Amino acid sequence: MPSNSSLSPTPSLSERLSGLLFFPVTAFAPDGSLDLAAFRAHVRRGVEAGAGAVFACCGTGEFHALAPGEFRDCVAAAVEEADGRVPVVAGAGYGTALAAEYAALAEEAGADGLLAMPPYLVVPSQEGLLRHYTALADSTSLDVIVYQRDNAVFTPRTVVALARHPRVIGLKDGYGDLDLMQRIITAVRSEETPRDFLYFNGLPTAELTGLTYRVLGVSLYSSAVFCFAPEIALVFHRAFSTGDDETVRKLLDGFYVPLVELRNQGRGYAVSLVKAGVRLRGLDVGEVRPPLAEPAPEHVKELGDLLERGLALVGAA
């Protein structure tokens, strides 16, 4: 019979979330159907490259374009490919009832947590936001990270109330108001909450704002670049985490800032350009689904040139 010392409790999701957060794209076949084999390969490569967690079927994974069955199959595939090495967090969104259904599908598929995306279409009050995310957290046994962006922007008081929920473990910020973030962090720190509350930089190409968020004490971030250039993303993350600001600035100036300028050339490029990057690295994950559109051919070529420059910078580093 094992001794008590060998029966260590399973680490919580909060304790397991570290390193680079990988948001895989969702692969589609030429006819537009789900390509699970390519998706599995993409997730497997990311985990083997050194991802700290897999966030499946979220924004980069075109959650908005997935039918419920496709969502469940993708999350289950990500869980199988991760094989317990890193946690898998699944997206959940739309209205409260549908978000709870997606949460149930994610739980059934074996996910470790949820990224709760903004509700569909409406612009709710703070009371409405609190009711929505509380109801979602009440509907599941999974830990929940709330995504602040677009029509879901919170006051510090609302975040304090959410942080008191036993299953709401963190806030991912895709809004970018640093004054607001500092007030949120201060408010939560000043109140009694059941655990250490996590914060994530969730802005597109988060590396660009990483140094600024680090001053606020926010070091976790999602990396779209990791999808197609894990070599670059990992060198940047290592430099960012160890205070090697010279390497950080070199990669910002030579790769990340030009990438953001390219991303800003078209609507939806935060997803479609990433998918093009994955294809450039040799894995055919297909095109984006409508209403997104593919990037212009000249922009894909520019991405290829930029990718070569970034890989050369990493080699030099």
Say yes or no to pLDDT of 42 above 90: yes
The DSSP line for 85-97 is: SS-EEEEE-SSHH
Taking residues 9-27, what's their average pLDDT? 92
Q: In the structure, what pLDDT confidence band is assigned to residue 9 with cuts at 50, 70 and 90?
A: low
- Count of structural domains, the chain: 1
User: Residue type for 156, please?
Assistant: P
Percentage of residues in the chain having pLDDT higher than 70: 96
User: Structural domain of residue 165, as residue ranges?
Assistant: 16-227
Q: In the structure, what pLDDT confidence band is assigned to residue 2 with cuts at 50, 70 and 90?
A: very low
Taking residues 162-189, what's their average pLDDT? 97
Specify whether the CB–CB gap between 270 and 276 falls below 8 A: no
pTM of the entire structure?
0.94
Please indicate whether residue 172 is annotated as part of the active site. Answer: yes
User: Which residue among 133, 172, 250, 269 is the active-site one?
Assistant: 172
At residue 118, the pLDDT reads 96
State the Cα–Cα distance between residues 153 and 119, nearest whole angstrom: 11
CATH number at residue 149: 3.20.20.70
User: Which residue among 102, 133, 147, 221 is the active-site one?
Assistant: 147
Q: Please write the tens of the pLDDT for every residue from 141-165.
A: 999 999 999 999 999 999 999 999 9
The verdict on residue 1 lying in a domain is no
At residue 316, the pLDDT reads 58
Please indicate whether residue 275 is annotated as part of the active site. Answer: no
The verdict on residue 254 lying in a domain is no
